[in-house]
Every structure is written in C-alpha cells, then in structure tokens.
Amino acid sequence: MLGFAVKAVVTIAIGAFAIAGLYALIVAEDVVDRFEGRRWKVPSRVYSDNLLIYPGQGLPLAQLTHRLDRLGYRRTSSPPKAQGQYHRSGRTVTAYLRKVRSTVIDRPAMRVRFVFANQRSGGVSAISDLKARKAVPFVELEPEEVMQVFGEEHQSRQLVSIDDVPPALIDAVLAAEDAGFYDHFGVDFSAIVRAFYVNVKAGGIRQGGSTLTQQLAKSFFLDPSRTVLRKLKELVIAVLIESNYDKKTILEIYLNEIYLGQRGSVSVHGFAEAARFYFGRPVERLTPAQCATLAGMIRGPNLYSPHKHPKRARERRDRVLRAMFEQDKLDEPAFNAAVDADLETVPFTAYKRTAPFFFDYLASQLATMYPQDELTRLGLSLYTTLDVGVQEEAERALADGLRKLEKAHPELVREDPNQKLQGAIVVLEPSTGHVIAMVGGRDYGVSQFNRVTQALRQPGSAFKPFAYLTGLETYSLTDRISNEPKTYRINGKRWRPRNYGGGSGGTVTVRDALVKSMNIPTVHLAEQIGLSPIIGTARRFGITTPMAPELALVLGAFEVYPLELAVAYAAFAHDGVLPHPLSLRKVVTDEGKVVQGHHLKIRSVTTPGRAYMVSALLQDVVLRGTARSLKARGIDFPVAGKTGTTNDYRDAWFVGYTPEVVALVWVGFDDQTSIKLPASKAALPIWADLMRNIGWRTSKRWFAPPESVTEVEICTHTGLKANSGCPKKRIEVFDPVRAPTETCSEHQSSMRRFLDALGL
C-alpha cells in the first residue's frame, strides 16, 4: 500500500514537472518579447511654458508663490536649507531652486532671493543669488507638468535607470520584500515556508513568501487572482525570468513596474513616479526615511499610503528601517535620524485636466503629427506655450464676468446649463503666435464645444480696423469722409446703416470715424475703396470664413472664428507680421532627443508703418472712443483695442493688445439670442479684469513709431500743421508722402496776432 502511494506521488510530481515544462516552453517567448521590447506604455507628459522672472517685472508676489506651490516646492517657516523649499517673509521670497537639466531649461540648484516692491500689488524689485552674493538679471522657473496623455490602462509612470536610484531605496525594497534576492533563482522556498508558519501562527496574512521576481511575473503576465494554478504559473515565469536576465535588469524593471497607489482614477507605478507624487522630488533625492516609506507601501499601497493613513504609513516605514538596520544597511545614527524624521509628504492632488479647452486644441495639432498610440506609450515630453498663471486668470475673469452680467441683468439668467450665457477668451503672444491661455466656454464639464476655435460668430465693429487699414492705401487719418445717411438696396431689400447712439450729417475724419465706431462713414469708405480690396486684406490677415461682397461686410455682418480674429489683431501688434497660432513648442523623447521643433510660420501682411497707424487709431479708441471706460476699470498702461457689437446685440467682443499680449473676449448665447448689451458693457469689463491681473505680462510701454511714418502736430479742425493759435492740436501719424506741408491759416498764431495789432 505504501509503495502504491509513493508511486502515485512520484507520478503526480513527474506530471506536474512535465506540465510546468510545457507551460515554460509556451510562455518563454512571451517573456523574452516583453523584456526585450518596449516594456511599458508610458504616457506622454504635457508641460506649461517656463516662467521668466526679472527685476522691473510687474509680477505679483502671490503669483510667484502660487507657481512654486504648483511646482511642488514646500513652504518652510525659516530660510530654505534643501532643494525644493521656499520661505516668504514680508515682501521677500527666498527659494532653493532645484537643479534642472532638460532641453528647455538648464539650471543649477541655487538659492535665490526675490524682493518685491509691494506685498499686495507685487512688482519684482531685485533678484539675487545668495551663494554668489550678487544680483542676477533674471531667473527662469521650470515648466509645470499640467497633463498626461494616458492609454486605456490609465497608468502614470516615469522610467528611471537603476544607476540613478539611491542605494537606500534598493536596500529598503530588499529589506521589505526580498532580503535573499541576490541568492535565489526566482523562487525562495525557505521564504514560502517561513511566511506560511508566520501567517498560521498569527491567524492572518502577516508576511508574504513571494520574491521580487515572482511579484514581477505576476504584475507583468498574470491576473491578481489567488489560485493554486496562478501561483504555479508565477513560479514558472519567475524561474524563466531569472534564467534569461541578470539581477540588475530584473531589479530595474521591478522598480519601474511596481504599483504604488492611486492618484484619483490614475494608478501610480514605479518609484520615480511615486517619489514625485508623495514627496514632490525626483527619486534620486529621496532620503532613507522616504525610501523606507515607499518600500513599505509595496505590500499594501492604499493601506500604507502616507496621504490616507499617515500613522500606519509611519509605523510600516519604521519596521522597514528596523530591518535595514538589522541587515547592516543603516548605521545607528542614520537609523535614529530616519525614524525621527517626519513623513514630509506633499499635499495629495488628484489628477485633473488643467486648461481643458487649450489641451483639446493642442490635441488637434498633435493629431497631425503623432498617432494616438504613440502619445500614450512612448513617454514623450510635450512642452507647450501655456502660461498657467494667465490661464487661471482667464478662467476666473470669464467665470466672474458672466456671473456679474447675470446678477446685473436677470433677464440673461438661464436655468438649463446647456443654455446659459456663454463666453470665450484667448490670449496670444503677437511676436510668436504662442497661445498662452484659452477658455472655450463657461464650463467644460457641461460643454466641450470650444468657442475659441469652433464657434462662428459675427464680429460686428471688431472687423472695422481691416476696412480702415485698406483705406490707408488712399486716405490719411485726417482726411474727411461723409457722415450723411444713405439708403442702399441689397438683394432687393432697403438697408440704411445708422450710427450707434444716433447722430449723423456732415463729414468726419478717418480717425474719428473708427475711434467712435461710426457705421455711416465706414460704409461710405467701403463704397470709395471697394469691397474686393477689403476682403483681400481680411484674407491676408488669416480670416478664412466666407465673405460676400456686400456693404454690410464692413460692419462685421459675416462670421469669423474668434481665434482667427485674435491672430489677425496680432499682426497689428507685430509690425504687420501675421503669426501662426502655436500651442506646442517642442517634443522630446524619453531619451532626451528633440523630435519636433516648430519653425514659426509667419508672413508680412502689411507694412510696419500701416500697422503702427492702425495701432495709433485703436489706442485712441481706448483713450476717447468706445473703450474709454478701460481707464476707470484699472487699465493704467497703454493698450489698443476695439469693441465689436452686432446690430442685434447677439455678439459682444473686445479685442485689445499691447506690444507683448493680445487678448480677445467674446460674450453671447450659443443659440444667438440677443444679450441686449453693447460690447462696452458685456465683453470689455471681462477683458479689463483679465488684463489688470496679467499686467505683469506686458512691459507697459507703447510701440515705437517705425521710420516709415511721420508724426506731425496738426490742427484738429483743419488737419494742417498747427500753429500756436490753433485751439485744438494733436500729434497725428502720416505716410511721409501724405504728411501736410502747409500750416493752418484759419487760426492765427500769437506772433501773427501781435504783428496784426501793430498794423504790420
């Protein structure tokens, strides 16, 4: 009977080994393929633009500290002693900036002191390098990670070479999970037996028997089910891994693969990602205590999360540190220091989409260059043009502005979220075309329709500058245009344009016609110069939408995309050069190779002189025209801009700019219901609120006149060169060939009056 039992056991053993061998042959190729090829789908990471800070900049102090917070710098109660810390005292911020080496910024670690002129309004007075004890002309803050492009797995992972991992992390992982890692061949039977004994004695799971290689086999190739068959498969795959790869390779893969918690719906994998998520620092700079904290989480990432269960995480950390000490991986002073250390985690931040409308626009540009699969698996670094500070202010300005409009005008309130009053904002750099902020609607969660890039709306008077620019081919700004009402017949219907607010008759100067946004003179101008040249100007400036050659065209009675209109205005701010709107600056592989750099697609669409003349007109719109309320709203620096209101009040626009920034605001209903408000009361206040809070993006200087224009002091009544007797004068801008050469004779100069009095 005993012999039969022995034979049965032997037979079963032989069968098991045969099955294991067959299974090994089947999966061996898969193991090699997975380890030799690209092992992970690593999401692409999307970064904001860098932030350049320099003395004289109007940057608010709060904007700097907010940016440091977002970058994971920890605020301390005393001057910073380690990289990644900052301290604020009064109007001074001292930061220990991290060492950064990348294709977009190369900066050593440095302790920097920023001194501001004022705690509330800000303004950078001075920047100094504390180690070198000298002033520095500027400091550049690193870009902020604002998004990841995930695959179906929704895993967040950064890859790290084992050569860059601190020894303390390897020691902590082995002490916590596999002290005999370098001695076994993938399976440690003594550890299995020991774990079985400990767990039976404790009446529950207290210790695991799996080696790191077994854990890796389970993570890479198997489901998490707890069955005998799954365990046998795990053992076979672990042995195969050990047979084909050295310990260093296996450990490196493990350090990049292991699951270490959740960031909302996104799973955190690998120690490099976990170091950033929990401690806000690269894995290379983890302390022994932090290494032990992360290693202690392997057994239960959510159970021992320092964010969710700090007390439990610390207890687990201390057990790992004790194991490291007992294995001579830490001496006594280091052990005591690590045990006494606080957890020092950065605040938990669930993954969320920042600037969603901007990133939808970015995705549309990326789709022409990269398949979606590459973006979710190649671990690309995508450096964008986004300024997170400006983006936040744009989102706030639109939300606040629409709420204020609804409060002041209850008839604008709609209960249905899909029918609410809407708006859009886009902010550009005119010299580069960089889109630095984009808000395509009131609530991305309700509607993903991007009104900046997808909506077609009538521009109203915001189109007039392009008609007047065309008119500068034959007119000077002092020439006069008829303001007499006239009735036209268009498509069999009578059409009689009227000036907003009434008033007509006589003539007005070209300047006043645009500054006061007068409709009647604008239509007369279009009659004189023709509609085809005006349409040609609009096309050169990048407006692609259909334009019928009808006189109502010059009053904005056709549709445009807001982004195209903003880019067209950017040409006025950039010497007549039309930029190409860009959301992406650079694409870098996980090996640091630049694979995509944008060459600016720009073209000259008018002369610097004509662009300057239009800017002079649009500055006058702000000083004494339809946008004159900007000064009362806190815009105390030079800007140019134009309101745009359709004649039925369905659309309200304000497009304004400085030499450094162009910003467009649109307000209206998606169903084109009238808002019954002019742009000066609907869109302009939102623009003012935005620009008042991003004033640090502009130098607050005005454009320098190009050599191709002549500035002459004129009599505003005659348009001729002024003399001392002219009651009203102004500096006017001319093409040199059209500049007045005669002096005003209607108003006597003081010398002429003196001579007349003498009878001479």
Give pLDDT, residue 205.
44
State the amino acid at position 148 in one-letter form.
Q
Domain boundaries, the chain: 45-148, 150-340, 380-459+561-602+639-703, 461-558, 710-757
State the amino acid at position 629 in one-letter form.
S
Give pLDDT, residue 759.
54
In CATH, which of 3.90.1300.10, 3.30.70.100, 3.40.50.300, 3.30.2060.10 is domain 45-148? 3.30.2060.10
Give pLDDT, residue 195.
53
Q: Which residues of the chain have pLDDT under 50?
A: 10, 204-207
Give pLDDT, residue 612.
97
**Angle 370-373-375 from CA coordinates, rounded to 5°:** 55
Fill in the DSSP letter of residue 744.
Answer: P
The CATH architecture one would assign to domain 150-340 is Orthogonal Bundle (1.10)
CB atoms within 10 A of CB 31: 20
Q: What whole-number distance in Å separates Cα of residue 732 and Cα of residue 734?
A: 7
Same CATH fold assignment for domains 380-459+561-602+639-703 and 461-558: yes
Q: What whole-number distance in Å separates Cα of residue 74 and Cα of residue 68?
A: 8
Residues whose CB is less than 8 angstroms from the CB of residue 625 and which lie 6 or more positions away in sequence, other chains included: 515, 516, 517
Q: What whole-number distance in Å separates Cα of residue 724 and Cα of residue 140?
A: 52
Give pLDDT, residue 634.
93
Closest CA to 434 of 573, 567, 577, 538: 567
Strand segments (E) across 498-647: 507-509, 577-578, 584-588, 594-597, 603-604, 640-645
Residue pair 295/305 in contact by the 8 Å Cβ criterion: no
Closest CA to 745 of 710, 713, 721: 721
State the amino acid at position 412 in one-letter form.
L
Q: What whole-number distance in Å separates Cα of residue 584 and Cα of residue 467?
A: 33
The residue assigned the tokens 């909302």 is 264
Give pLDDT, residue 596.
66
- What are the backbone angles phi and psi of residue 697, rounded to the nearest 5°? -80, -5
Residue 113 forms beta bridges with which residues? 94, 128
Residue pair 113/90 in contact by the 8 Å Cβ criterion: no
The residue assigned the tokens 């310990």 is 247
Q: Please spell the DSSP secondary structure of 180-214, one letter per residue.
A: TTTTSSS--HHHHHHHHHHHHHHTS-------HHH
Q: What whole-number distance in Å separates Cα of residue 615 and Cα of residue 618?
A: 5
The domain 380-459+561-602+639-703 having CATH identifier 3.40.50.11260: the answer here is no
Helix (H) or strand (E) holding 174: helix 167-177
Give pLDDT, residue 679.
96
Residue 124 forms beta bridges with which residues? 116
Pairing of strands 710-715, 729-734: antiparallel
Q: What whole-number distance in Å separates Cα of residue 453 and Cα of residue 438?
A: 10
Residues whose CB is less than 8 angstroms from the CB of residue 353 and which lie 6 or more positions away in sequence, other chains included: 147, 359, 444
Give pLDDT, residue 36.
60
Q: What whole-number distance in Å separates Cα of residue 429 and Cα of residue 657?
A: 10
- What are the backbone angles phi and psi of residue 224, rounded to the nearest 5°? -80, 10
* Strand ranges of the sheet holding 662-668, from the earlier edge strand across to the other edge: 435-439, 422-428, 662-668, 651-657, 640-645
The residue assigned the tokens 């202690």 is 296
Give pLDDT, residue 599.
59
pTM of the model: 0.84
Q: What whole-number distance in Å separates Cα of residue 589 and Cα of residue 577?
A: 32
Q: Which CATH number applies to 461-558?
A: 3.40.710.10
Residue pair 44/375 in contact by the 8 Å Cβ criterion: yes
Q: What whole-number distance in Å separates Cα of residue 167 and Cα of residue 334?
A: 14
